[in-house]
C-alpha cells in the first residue's frame, strides 16, 4: 500500500468515522496515505447536543466539530480537511466542484470513497455524492487525450449508509477491519456529539464481520466494513 493514496469525502465531518474509519485504518496501517475531506461540519443537522448550550455559537460548533474530526482522523492515520460549505441543505456550487476536482488532481488518490447516490433520510449525502462523482470525472478527463491537466482515474466506492436497503446500497466488497478495530473505536470515541452511534456502528462492524466470514469462510474475521464499487476495478488475475 506504500504510496497508495485514499480520499474519503463526507457531507459532514463525522460521516467518515462510522462508515469508513476501519477501511482508512487498514489502508494507513498497510503503509498508505489517507485524506478525509468534509464538505461541511454538520453544524446544523448533526450537532444538536452542542446546541443545547444556550450560549452556543455557530463558529464554536464548527470549531468543536473540526477538532473532533481531526482527532478521529488522526486515530486512523489520516489527515482531515473541511470545505465548510454549510449543511441542511448542503449545496455544492460549480466553483466548489472545481475546487474538489483541483484537489483530486493534486492529491491524485488511487481510491475515492463517498456516500451512495441515494438517501431518503439525508439530502446532503446525495449532494456530496454528486459533487464527488462530477469532480472525479472532471479531473480524470474523458479517457481520450484532453486539453487540460488530468489525474489518473481512481477506484470509486460508496461506503455504507445508515439504512442500506433504502439507499439502494448493495455491498460488493467487505474490508476485514479486525486488526484495526481498536483504531476505529478510538475514532468513534472522538465524536462526542453523536455518542450514541458508537454502539450502533460497533455492532454493525460485528455484523458485517459475520457476513464477511460467511462469504469467505475465513473464521479469523471478527469485524468488517461494507462498500459498493461504483465502477469496475482492474486486476491482474482473479
- For its own copies, the binding residues in 123-152 under the rule CB under 8 A are 123, 133-134, 137-138, 140-148, 152
C-alpha cell at 89: 441543505
Closer residue to its own copies, CB minimum distance, 103 or 226:
226
Shortest distance in whole angstroms from residue 74 CB to its own copies: 19
Shortest distance in whole angstroms from residue 188 CB to its own copies: 14
Instruction: Report if residue 187 touches its own copies, rule: CB under 8 A.
Output: no
Exposed, middle or buried by CB within 10 Å (0-12, 13-18, 19+), for 144?
exposed
161: helix, coil or strand?
coil
Residues 98-127 contacting its own copies, CB under 8 A: 111, 113, 120-123
Give the whole-angstrom CA distance, residue 147 versus residue 198: 47
Shortest distance in whole angstroms from residue 43 CB to its own copies: 7
Residue in this structure with the C-alpha cell 466506492, named with its chain if needed: 157
C-alpha cell at 29: 496501517
Shortest distance in whole angstroms from residue 151 CB to its own copies: 8
Give the whole-angstrom CA distance, residue 234 versus residue 199: 36
From the CB of residue 142, how many other CB atoms can be counted at a distance below 10 Å? Answer: 9
Among 63, 79, 106, 163, binds its own copies (CB under 8 A): 163
Among 21, 37, 61, 181, binds its own copies (CB under 8 A): 61
Instruction: Report if residue 88 touches its own copies, rule: CB under 8 A.
Output: yes
Check if the beta carbon of residue 85 is closer than 8 Å to that of residue 92. Answer: yes
Q: Is the dihedral of CA 170, 174, 175, 178 positive or negative?
A: positive
- For residue 14, what are the CA distances in angstroms to 52, 71, 83, 131? 19, 11, 14, 18
Instruction: Report if residue 86 touches its own copies, rule: CB under 8 A.
Output: no
Closer residue to its own copies, CB minimum distance, 70 or 162:
162
Among 172, 185, 186, 189, binds its own copies (CB under 8 A): 172
Give the whole-angstrom CA distance, residue 103 versus residue 117: 21
Instruction: Report if residue 186 touches its own copies, rule: CB under 8 A.
Output: no
Shortest distance in whole angstroms from residue 109 CB to its own copies: 11
Size of the site for its own copies (CB under 8 A): 92
Among 38, 40, 204, 205, binds its own copies (CB under 8 A): 204
Instruction: Report if residue 214 touches its own copies, rule: CB under 8 A.
Output: yes
Give the whole-angstrom CA distance, residue 176 versus residue 158: 16
Amino acid at each position: 500500500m506504500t504510496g497508495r493514496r485514499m480520499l474519503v469525502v463526507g457531507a459532514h465531518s463525522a460521516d467518515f468515522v462510522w462508515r469508513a474509519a476501519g477501511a482508512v485504518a487498514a489502508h494507513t496501517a498497510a503503509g498508505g496515505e489517507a485524506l478525509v475531506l468534509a464538505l461541511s461540519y454538520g453544524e446544523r443537522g448533526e450537532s444538536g447536543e452542542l446546541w443545547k448550550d444556550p450560549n452556543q455559537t455557530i463558529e464554536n460548533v464548527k470549531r468543536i466539530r473540526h477538532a473532533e474530526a481531526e482527532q478521529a482522523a488522526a486515530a486512523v492515520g489520516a489527515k482531515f480537511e473541511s470545505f465548510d460549505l454549510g449543511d441542511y441543505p448542503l449545496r455544492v456550487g460549480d466553483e466548489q466542484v472545481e475546487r474538489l476536482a483541483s484537489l483530486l488532481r493534486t492529491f491524485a488518490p488511487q481510491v475515492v470513497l463517498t456516500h451512495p447516490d441515494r438517501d431518503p433520510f439525508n439530502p446532503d449525502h446525495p449532494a456530496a455524492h454528486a459533487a464527488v462523482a462530477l469532480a472525479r470525472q472532471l479531473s480524470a478527463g474523458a479517457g481520450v487525450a484532453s486539453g487540460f491537466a488530468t489525474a489518473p482515474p481512481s477506484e470509486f466506492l460508496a461506503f455504507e449508509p445508515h439504512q442500506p436497503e433504502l439507499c439502494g446500497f448493495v455491498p460488493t466488497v467487505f474490508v476485514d477491519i479486525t486488526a484495526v478495530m481498536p483504531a476505529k473505536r478510538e475514532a468513534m470515541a472522538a465524536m462526542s456529539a453523536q455518542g450514541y452511534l458508537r454502539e450502533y456502528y460497533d455492532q454493525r462492524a460485528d455484523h458485517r464481520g459475520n457476513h464477511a466470514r460467511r462469504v469467505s469462510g475465513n473464521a479469523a474475521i471478527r469485524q468488517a466494513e461494507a462498500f459498493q464499487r461504483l465502477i469496475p476495478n482492474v486486476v491482474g488475475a482473479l
